[in-house]
Amino acid sequence: MAKGGRSRDQLKRLKELETETTRLRRAVSDLTLDKRGLTEAARGNF
């Protein structure tokens, strides 16, 4: 057993999910910035 009573598999899965969450947050951030830029360009505020 690993710390806190979690198995190694659980800790590995937790790390994988944390990595995926970080990747998805970056993707959402990038898309949000793209959308803002396109919105401003469409309004003629570029």
Residue 3: what pLDDT? 61
pLDDT, averaged in runs of 10, over the chain (46 residues): 76 98 98 95 83
Residue 21 confidence (pLDDT): 98
Distance in angstroms (rounded) separating the CA atoms of residues 7 and 45: 54
- Asked if 31 and 25 touch (Cβ cutoff 8 Å), the reply is no
Q: Look at residue 6 in the predicted model and tell me its pLDDT.
A: 79
* pTM assigned to the model: 0.69
